[in-house]
Structure 1
Amino acid sequence: MPSTLEQLSPTRVKLTIDLPFDDLTPAIDKAYQEIASQVNIPGFRKGKVPPRLIDQRFGRGAVLQEAINTVLPQAYGAAVQEHDLRPLMQPSVDVTELNDGTNVIFTAEVDVRPDFEVPDASAISVEVPVVKVTDAEVDERVQLLRERFGTLTEVERAAETGDVVTIDLTGRQEGKVLDDAESSGVQYKIGAGGFVEGLDDAVVGMKAGETKTFTSTLVGGRYKDQEAEIEVTVSKVQQQDLPDVDDDFAQLVSEFDTAEEMLADLRDNLVRLARLDQANQARENVLRALVSQTEFELPEALITAEQDARRQEIEGQLSRAGLTIEQYLADSDEEADTPEAFWDDINERVVESLRSQIILDKLAEESDIEVNQQELTELIFAKAQQNGTSPEQEIQHMMDHDHAAEWMGEVRRGKALGQIVAAATVTDAEGSVLDLEHLNSDGTLSDPSDETEEEPAEEELPTTEENPAVDEPTEESPAVEDPDEEAPAKSED
């Protein structure tokens, strides 16, 4: 079927498709069959109503319309492929001419990816922070481990700094209890901070069963930044005893026999985490530089649609959490201090994200980047970990919402970005050039000189449904317990 292309703008085209009636005939025959199977006409068995009678009863136009609707997607797809277009949205289709028995002419206007040149990645240079782990950071991780494996012993004396108290809190203004300003059974370590201002001073010196009232400024909720009277009641005082950092402690919290080995491993873990943070920052900086150096227009309709969708998504999340946008901004770390500024920032992020996706999609095509099943599986596991779900749930979600192509696009863009980062020059703040090409997913660096050719396996099993050629990623147990992972402290009453 012949088609012509008209460039309406850098981001919008008009396809005119001339569909011969011969290509429409099978769809017309099928439309007659479906109508015949659905209607009851005296004198004819169901499904045996002749086309001429259907034309008389329902009109030939209805049949042709049904057939055209069936054939249009395929005809449109063929025209898109013929002219090598990259549609960004659904087309606006209009049947302009219908010659029964001869041909059907229709037009399709659609926003497409504009033509643009991507800068040479090797010319991009960015800077990232230096990977540096201090003794204070190691000491902090050790302290967290000590607290996790410490013991709490209930005491009858007055509370002191460092003790863990169990308290009830009630906030009032003019004698009236405030909404969302009551908590009971809260366990708090005196001196930890991050709670109600003035709480430490209030509870120091209190014993179990005592109540005190003090004035403080609320830090969250609908009464944020307002003064209130806070009534605190201590129900339990516990002394926290921390283990010494010795070889016995190392054997308790890690796989190592000595404290020296444990501390060295903690430092190595912090270095690996810092290196991953550095790599993520490098990817963000390189992509931002690439986007800023690549000039092309975005269709306004696409921008509006994506911004509206993002806004609806955020408003839905806030509604489910029972928050207004003002409450969210008051309690969050967002830089915007007004709803207007917040939505302006979101709109800018949407535009930058769209530009990033379009650039990476083009690079992936030019580099013939493909995505295999293993890579999709790794993304599913990563999504499950991020969302607190199981891989099976993520797979079901992907199938229910037809996200397979979208998720594979995510992987493809990630691989394209990886190639760009490897080609770019990334230096740290001290001027050292970083080799991120050989950074492993666990933050370690592989040495390409150590790569050796593996011996072939004795027998390779064929890929079948019972024996898929996909190795599910496994999580190795850390050498040292993660001190950030919550665990109840031991209590000795």
Structure 2
Amino acid sequence: MKSTVEKLSPTRVRINVEVPFTELAPDFDRAFKEMAKSIRMPGFRPGKVPVRLLEQRVDKQAMFEQVIGEAVPGRYSEAVATSEVKPLGQPEIDITNKQYGEDLAFTAEVDVRPEITLPDLAALKIEVDPIEVSDDEVDTELQNLRARFGTLTGVDRPAQDGDFVSIDLSATVDGEDVPEAKTEGLSHEVGSGQLIEGLDEAIKGLKAEESKVFKTTLVAGEHAGKEADVTVKVNSVKERELPEPDDEFAQLASEFDTIDELKESLVEQVKRVKRVQQAEQIRDRALEALLEQTEIPLPEAIVQAQVDDTLHNAIHGLEHDEEKFAESLEKEGSSREAFDADNRTNSEKGVKTQLLMDAVADHLDIQVGQTDLTERLVLMSRQYGLEPQQLLQVLQQNNQLPAMFADVRRGLTIAAVVHGATVTDTEGTEIDTAEFFGPPNAEQPAEIAADDDDADDVADDSVAVEENAADDDVAADDTK
């Protein structure tokens, strides 16, 4: 077999493949043997018809076309393996010669990862916001802690923001009851906005045993998207009394003896949250800086697939009803035109980011090891509430291992980029990135570290994951 590659654009190639007819002999043998299993012929037992006899009686051209259908995928993969192209997605195959007795010829057009010229990674400068903790932020945390230890007391007055009420709800659409919207004894915090739109405004000012009718648009069920008349009845009103923020409260709510010690602990708690936010900002700005400094040709078919997938997910819950989707966007203050424009922009940026990270990973020779995959599996299993081995089976069944492998490699890549860059805050203070991106040359970022027990449970499985995912990664469409 011989193959050549034509570059059609920076992101698309045509692979021309010629397979000598004699090379297809093993494929013909397999096809005839399979046929012999099902052919019945007088004088021969089922499945025992000689292959040579079949060869004399079948339409050889028809058999050749059947062989072609089974042989082309393998020959395409072989051509890709011997070339330097890195395909994205599935190829468009065109059989250019399929005449029996002649060499098989076909072309395969496919999107490929473009060649990307990277900037000097060592010269990359990243500037982020400094970590500052205000008194108001600490007071908010203290208030939240007091609320956890608060008590609810019934009051004989109209409901207001912050009160807890017990309510009954019912709804009608065009005068007909909506059974799924009916509920009794529901507990709700006034002003939280956690239930249906317009509910909090209707409840405010109502006392126990009073009710009110208001209009709202249902968002779920058979009548989703329709305007309904909702009746809310208040059964009881309770206000939350908070404990005094003193030493006694500190001893009740924490391991500290004084309120000052508790507040110092809350300051550190806020700082920890802000350090996580700062790490996310470092990652995002590193990507932004690289994207700004790098020219990345876009494979249109891959971008369009991402656009289509996002649109499908957006309207799937609306039974793919375009009118309902337009109405939903209008209520959010948007439009279909704005949605499509944002979708296109976000898809292009997403594909650019993934192509860029893959190019950087190749440049830095980022390797994904067993430990990296094991820890990602353990982390994901906790998020989904599954055992690691069970999650691994799900990923294998849904062919998601290559995508997970690529995602882990990109995480290691951005960590390596950050380590090589100069990272400071806007005040000029250099930032130690090791806490969230791991020490330089570490096997994986620190934030995906796993417990030893869980890691041991899936270590053996991860060896197979690493081998299979690495093999599949190049051929898979990992820009989805």
TM-score using structure 2 length: 0.77
User: Could you say what secondary structure the match of 1:302 adopts?
Assistant: helix
Q: CA deviation at 1:19?
A: 2.0
Q: CA deviation at 1:289?
A: 2.6
Distance in 2 (alpha carbons) for counterparts of 1:62 and 1:251: 86
Equivalent residue pairs, number: 442
Name the structure 2 match of 1:272.
272
1:440 aligns with 2:436: yes
Asked whether the 8 Å contact 1:7–1:14 carries over to 2, the reply is yes
Asked whether the 8 Å contact 1:121–1:420 carries over to 2, the reply is yes
2:205 corresponds to which letter in structure 1?
A
Name the structure 2 match of 1:456.
none
Distance in 2 (alpha carbons) for counterparts of 1:319 and 1:372: 43
Name the structure 2 match of 1:137.
137
- 2:357 aligns with one of 356, 360, 374: 360
Name the structure 2 match of 1:453.
none
Name the structure 1 match of 2:157.
158
Q: CA deviation at 1:283?
A: 1.4
1:57–1:173 Cα change, 3 Å? closer
Name the structure 2 match of 1:316.
316
1:253–1:408 Cα change, 3 Å? farther
Asked whether the 8 Å contact 1:283–1:417 carries over to 2, the reply is yes
Q: Gapped runs of 5+ residues in structure 2?
A: 442-454, 463-480
Deviations 1:216-273 (A, max 9, x none): 785985999x999986533123343323334554454444455444333322122111
Asked whether the 8 Å contact 1:87–1:110 carries over to 2, the reply is yes
Deviations 1:421-473 (A, max 9, x none): 3333443333433332x1237xxx9899xxxxxxxxxxxxxx99897498xxx
1:43 aligns with 2:37: no
Name the structure 2 match of 1:407.
404
Q: CA deviation at 1:97?
A: 3.1
Q: CA deviation at 1:366?
A: 2.1
1:152–1:115 Cα change, 3 Å? same
Asked whether the 8 Å contact 2:116–2:359 carries over to 1, the reply is no
| Further displaced range: 424-433 or 80-89 | 424-433
User: Could you say what secondary structure the match of 1:88 adopts?
Assistant: strand
1:273–1:282 Cα change, 3 Å? same
Q: CA deviation at 1:62?
A: 3.2
Name the structure 2 match of 1:75.
75
Asked whether the 8 Å contact 2:425–2:431 carries over to 1, the reply is yes
Q: Gapped runs of 5+ residues in structure 1?
A: 449-462, 471-493
Name the structure 2 match of 1:294.
294
1:440 corresponds to which letter in structure 2?
F
Name the structure 1 match of 2:284.
284
Deviations 1:172-192 (A, max 9, x none): 999998999876434344566
Asked whether the 8 Å contact 2:89–2:302 carries over to 1, the reply is yes
Which aligned pairs between 1:65-464 and structure 2 lie closer than 5 A? 65-98=65-98, 103-155=103-155, 157-159=156-158, 163-168=163-168, 184-189=184-189, 196=199, 198-199=201-202, 201-203=204-206, 206=207, 208=208, 210-211=209-210, 213=212, 232-319=232-319, 324-326=324-326, 328-329=328-329, 337-384=334-381, 386=383, 391=388, 394-436=391-433, 438-440=434-436
What percentage of aligned pairs have identical amino acids?
36
| Further displaced range: 172-181 or 298-307 | 172-181
1:217–1:140 Cα change, 3 Å? farther
1:21–1:251 Cα change, 3 Å? farther
1:173–1:84 Cα change, 3 Å? closer
Distance in 2 (alpha carbons) for counterparts of 1:241 and 1:29: 84
2:210 corresponds to which letter in structure 1?
T
Distance in 1 (alpha carbons) for counterparts of 2:122 and 2:320: 46
TM-score using structure 1 length: 0.76
Asked whether the 8 Å contact 1:221–1:327 carries over to 2, the reply is no
Distance in 1 (alpha carbons) for counterparts of 2:57 and 2:315: 50
For the aligned residue pairs, the C-alpha RMSD in angstroms reads 4.0
Asked whether the 8 Å contact 1:364–1:416 carries over to 2, the reply is yes
User: Could you say what secondary structure the match of 1:132 adopts?
Assistant: coil
User: Could you say what secondary structure the match of 1:356 adopts?
Assistant: helix
